[in-house]
Protein backbone atom coordinates (compact mmCIF):
# COMPACT_ATOMS: atom_id res chain seq x y z
CA UNK A 1 0.00 0.00 0.00
CA UNK A 2 1.50 3.32 -1.10
CA UNK A 3 1.61 6.41 1.05
CA UNK A 4 -0.61 9.31 0.09
CA UNK A 5 0.95 12.51 -1.22
CA UNK A 6 0.60 15.83 0.58
CA UNK A 7 -1.76 17.02 -2.17
CA UNK A 8 -3.96 13.93 -1.77
CA UNK A 9 -4.12 14.45 2.00
CA UNK A 10 -5.12 18.10 1.53
CA UNK A 11 -7.90 16.98 -0.86
CA UNK A 12 -9.60 14.66 1.65
CA UNK A 13 -13.34 15.34 1.96
CA UNK A 14 -14.54 17.77 4.62
CA UNK A 15 -17.76 17.65 6.54
CA UNK A 16 -20.28 19.99 4.86
CA UNK A 17 -22.11 20.48 8.16
CA UNK A 18 -20.25 23.40 9.71
CA UNK A 19 -22.49 23.80 12.76
CA UNK A 20 -20.83 22.70 15.96
CA UNK A 21 -20.92 23.30 19.66
CA UNK A 22 -18.53 25.71 21.31
CA UNK A 23 -15.86 24.13 23.48
CA UNK A 24 -15.90 25.88 26.85
CA UNK A 25 -12.11 25.81 26.94
CA UNK A 26 -12.09 28.20 23.98
CA UNK A 27 -14.11 30.96 25.68
CA UNK A 28 -11.67 33.20 27.52
CA UNK A 29 -12.07 35.96 30.11
CA UNK A 30 -10.03 39.16 29.82
CA UNK A 31 -9.66 42.25 31.99
CA UNK A 32 -9.00 45.73 30.65
CA UNK A 33 -5.74 47.24 31.91
CA UNK A 34 -5.89 50.15 29.49
CA UNK A 35 -6.48 53.83 29.95
CA UNK A 36 -9.79 55.67 29.98
CA UNK A 37 -9.34 56.30 26.25
CA UNK A 38 -8.43 52.84 24.95
CA UNK A 39 -8.99 49.26 26.11
CA UNK A 40 -5.96 47.01 26.51
CA UNK A 41 -7.21 43.46 27.12
CA UNK A 42 -5.16 41.18 29.36
CA UNK A 43 -5.93 37.46 29.52
CA UNK A 44 -6.60 36.20 33.05
CA UNK A 45 -4.22 33.29 33.60
CA UNK A 46 -5.04 29.85 34.97
CA UNK A 47 -8.67 29.84 33.80
CA UNK A 48 -10.76 26.79 34.51
CA UNK A 49 -14.31 28.10 34.45
CA UNK A 50 -16.03 31.43 33.85
CA UNK A 51 -19.78 30.91 33.51
CA UNK A 52 -21.91 33.95 32.85
CA UNK A 53 -25.28 34.06 34.59
CA UNK A 54 -28.21 36.24 33.60
CA UNK A 55 -31.05 36.86 36.06
CA UNK A 56 -34.14 39.00 36.46
CA UNK A 57 -35.83 39.96 39.70
CA UNK A 58 -39.36 38.65 40.10
CA UNK A 59 -42.20 41.13 40.33
CA UNK A 60 -45.44 39.77 41.78
CA UNK A 61 -48.28 40.64 39.38
CA UNK A 62 -50.92 38.44 41.07
CA UNK A 63 -54.44 39.82 41.38
CA UNK A 64 -57.88 38.78 42.49
CA UNK A 65 -59.02 37.77 39.02
CA UNK A 66 -56.06 35.50 38.16
CA UNK A 67 -58.09 32.43 39.21
CA UNK A 68 -56.07 31.88 42.38
CA UNK A 69 -52.82 31.55 40.46
CA UNK A 70 -49.79 33.72 40.95
CA UNK A 71 -48.50 35.82 38.10
CA UNK A 72 -45.05 37.25 37.79
CA UNK A 73 -43.23 39.72 35.61
CA UNK A 74 -39.53 39.92 34.94
CA UNK A 75 -38.05 42.86 36.82
CA UNK A 76 -34.62 44.47 36.67
CA UNK A 77 -32.02 42.23 35.04
CA UNK A 78 -28.48 41.47 36.17
CA UNK A 79 -25.49 39.41 35.12
CA UNK A 80 -22.49 37.91 36.86
CA UNK A 81 -19.43 35.80 36.10
CA UNK A 82 -18.20 33.28 38.68
CA UNK A 83 -14.57 32.88 37.63
CA UNK A 84 -12.51 29.98 38.95
CA UNK A 85 -8.94 29.17 38.10
CA UNK A 86 -5.47 28.36 39.25
CA UNK A 87 -3.60 30.87 41.35
CA UNK A 88 -0.75 31.73 38.98
CA UNK A 89 2.28 33.50 40.43
CA UNK A 90 3.07 36.86 38.84
CA UNK A 91 -0.19 36.97 36.85
CA UNK A 92 -0.82 40.68 36.20
CA UNK A 93 -4.55 40.14 35.56
CA UNK A 94 -5.04 38.48 38.96
CA UNK A 95 -3.03 41.30 40.53
CA UNK A 96 -5.40 43.85 38.93
CA UNK A 97 -8.46 41.90 40.11
CA UNK A 98 -7.23 41.66 43.71
CA UNK A 99 -6.26 45.36 43.73
CA UNK A 100 -9.69 46.30 42.36
CA UNK A 101 -11.40 44.17 45.02
CA UNK A 102 -9.36 45.65 47.87
CA UNK A 103 -10.00 49.20 46.66
CA UNK A 104 -13.68 48.75 45.60
CA UNK A 105 -12.93 49.59 41.98
CA UNK A 106 -15.06 48.53 39.04
CA UNK A 107 -13.39 46.44 36.34
CA UNK A 108 -13.99 46.26 32.59
CA UNK A 109 -14.17 42.62 31.44
CA UNK A 110 -14.56 40.79 28.15
CA UNK A 111 -15.65 37.24 27.32
CA UNK A 112 -14.03 36.28 24.01
CA UNK A 113 -15.55 33.49 21.92
CA UNK A 114 -13.58 31.30 19.47
CA UNK A 115 -15.29 32.81 16.41
CA UNK A 116 -13.77 36.23 17.27
CA UNK A 117 -16.99 37.56 18.79
CA UNK A 118 -17.14 38.88 22.33
CA UNK A 119 -19.20 40.45 25.10
CA UNK A 120 -17.95 43.17 27.41
CA UNK A 121 -19.19 45.05 30.43
CA UNK A 122 -18.33 46.68 33.74
CA UNK A 123 -18.46 44.74 36.98
CA UNK A 124 -17.85 44.98 40.71
CA UNK A 125 -15.81 42.27 42.36
CA UNK A 126 -18.12 40.98 45.07
CA UNK A 127 -16.11 37.89 46.08
CA UNK A 128 -12.41 37.09 45.91
CA UNK A 129 -11.43 33.74 47.43
CA UNK A 130 -8.05 32.01 47.47
CA UNK A 131 -7.89 28.31 48.34
CA UNK A 132 -4.64 26.70 49.46
CA UNK A 133 -5.51 23.02 49.78
CA UNK A 134 -2.79 20.80 51.24
CA UNK A 135 -3.37 18.17 48.55
CA UNK A 136 -3.92 20.25 45.44
CA UNK A 137 -3.01 23.36 43.52
CA UNK A 138 -3.80 26.81 44.87
CA UNK A 139 -6.95 28.22 43.26
CA UNK A 140 -8.84 31.48 43.08
CA UNK A 141 -12.60 32.07 42.81
CA UNK A 142 -13.87 35.52 41.89
CA UNK A 143 -17.42 36.77 41.46
CA UNK A 144 -17.82 39.63 39.00
CA UNK A 145 -21.24 41.26 39.47
CA UNK A 146 -22.34 43.33 36.48
CA UNK A 147 -22.83 47.08 36.70
CA UNK A 148 -25.37 47.83 34.02
CA UNK A 149 -25.85 45.71 30.93
CA UNK A 150 -23.27 43.44 29.39
CA UNK A 151 -23.03 43.97 25.64
CA UNK A 152 -24.72 41.83 23.07
CA UNK A 153 -22.38 39.36 21.39
CA UNK A 154 -20.37 41.61 19.07
CA UNK A 155 -18.09 40.88 16.14
CA UNK A 156 -14.41 41.77 16.60
CA UNK A 157 -13.47 44.95 14.75
CA UNK A 158 -11.37 44.28 11.67
CA UNK A 159 -8.16 46.26 11.35
CA UNK A 160 -7.07 47.58 7.98
CA UNK A 161 -3.68 48.40 6.62
Mean of pLDDT over the chain:
93
CB 112 within 8 A of CB 134: no
Q: How far apart are CA 145 and CA 123, in angstroms?
A: 5
Distance separating the N- and C-terminal Cα atoms of the chain: 49
pTM: 0.83
Position 9 pLDDT exceeds 90: yes
φ, ψ for residue 30 (rounded to 5)? -125, 155
CB 126 within 8 A of CB 136: no
Partners of residue 146 on adjacent β-strands: 123
Q: Per residue in 83-134, pLDDT tens?
A: 999 999 999 999 999 999 999 999 999 999 999 999 999 999 999 999 999 9
> Is residue 144 very low, low, confident or very high in pLDDT (cuts 50, 70, 90)?
very high
Q: Per residue in 44-58, pLDDT tens?
A: 999 999 999 999 999
Amino acid sequence: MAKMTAEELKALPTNPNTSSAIAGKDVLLYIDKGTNTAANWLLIGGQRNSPIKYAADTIDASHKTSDGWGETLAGPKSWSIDFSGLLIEDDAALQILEYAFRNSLDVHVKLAYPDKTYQEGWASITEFDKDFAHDGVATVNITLSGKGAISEITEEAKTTG
